[in-house]
Amino acid sequence: MTNHRVIDGKAIAAEVREGVAREVARLESAYGFRPGLAVVLVGEDPASKVYVKNKGEQTKASGMNSWEHKLPAEASEAEVLAIVDKLNRDPAVNGILVQLPLPKHVNAEKVLNTIDPDKDVDGFHPVNVGRLWVGERTLVPCTPTGSVILAKSVAPSLAGMNAVVIGRSNIVGKPVAALLLRENCTVTVAHSRTRNIQSVVKGADLVVAAVGIPEMVRGDWVKPGAIVIDVGINRVPGEAGKTKLVGDVAYDECARVAGAITPVPGGVGPMTIACLLQNTVEAAKIQRGIKG
């Protein structure tokens, strides 16, 4: 077994949150305002309710204002759009997050594209996607930002590394690729049509797996000493009829070869909300023209 390092996402997320709380306090004393995040929840999806509750609690814990707007599952698209419009115009609201999934009769793309790009703390608006790829100051999607922070926790410079991102979704794979390019990696994006994916991954100094297939990446795919970031969250049957969470990486096998690896749970997962809080502060600064 190599002397691999387990990347502690919980501890690093706590550091990010502490940094946010310090910045919130600095903004309040220097500029006299508190950043605020509004979350819109439509319907009763149990997982979404838990996420929204956690987001609200962590927003308040960092010293920011937090608002929840709850609509019934049968709310019309026009009602959802009206709330977004109201939040766009409210100067106390710096960040707007519409919790996905939305009910089927509501066009999620239309709703997300209605959010003011400068308040789009999820970083999904096409304007922010464009800003990310051209290298302008912008709001970057949270899970990708968290994944790159974790990689940099073990290798402060990723420059020159061969990075392989598995997955090309708009919410994870593509923004991770953009961020790694910005970090001066040589980036390969693998997906369901990639031929010989195992040998593609074997060439990587840094692997980011965002696929949604339990334990797809096997130990013999990984180059000895590589950094492995596992974004996957998959529920599979566990012991005694219970379900357990596994990533897109076969953890035990890969940990034997990797130089550093994130566990599931406790790796990328905790970073997402921490980066959302960071984005809310960044959104407030962008809106007020505050540098840095």
Which spans of this chain sit near ligand NDP (rule: CB under 6 A)?
Answer: 143, 166-169, 171-173, 190-194, 197, 210-213, 231-234, 248, 268-269, 272
Residue placing its CB nearer to ligand NDP in the complex, 34 or 49: 49
- The nearest distance, CB 102 to ligand NDP, in angstroms, is 15
Cα separation values, 253 from 15, 81, 261, Å: 29, 47, 11
Instruction: Decide if 122 is catalytic.
Output: yes
Instruction: Decide if 58 is catalytic.
Output: no
Give the pair of three-digit tokens for residue 195: 């031929």
DSSP 8-state symbol, 184: T
Of residues 117, 136, 135, 140, the one with CA closest to residue 127: 117
- The nearest distance, CB 146 to ligand NDP, in angstroms, is 7
Residue placing its CB nearer to ligand NDP in the complex, 65 or 234: 234
Residue placing its CB nearer to ligand NDP in the complex, 153 or 272: 272
Residue nearest to ligand NDP (CB): 169
The residue whose two tokens read 């997906």 is: 191
- The nearest distance, CB 200 to ligand NDP, in angstroms, is 10
Active-site residue identified among 58, 119, 120, 122:
122
Neighbours of 47 (CB within 10 A): 9
Residue placing its CB nearer to ligand NDP in the complex, 66 or 143: 143
**Residue 183 contacts residue 159 (beta carbons within 8 Å):** yes
Instruction: Decide if 55 is catalytic.
Output: yes
Neighbours of 191 (CB within 10 A): 13
Q: CA torsion 126→129→131→135, rounded to 10°?
A: -170
- The nearest distance, CB 79 to ligand NDP, in angstroms, is 27
Active-site residue identified among 58, 99, 205, 230:
99
Catalytic residues: 55, 99, 122
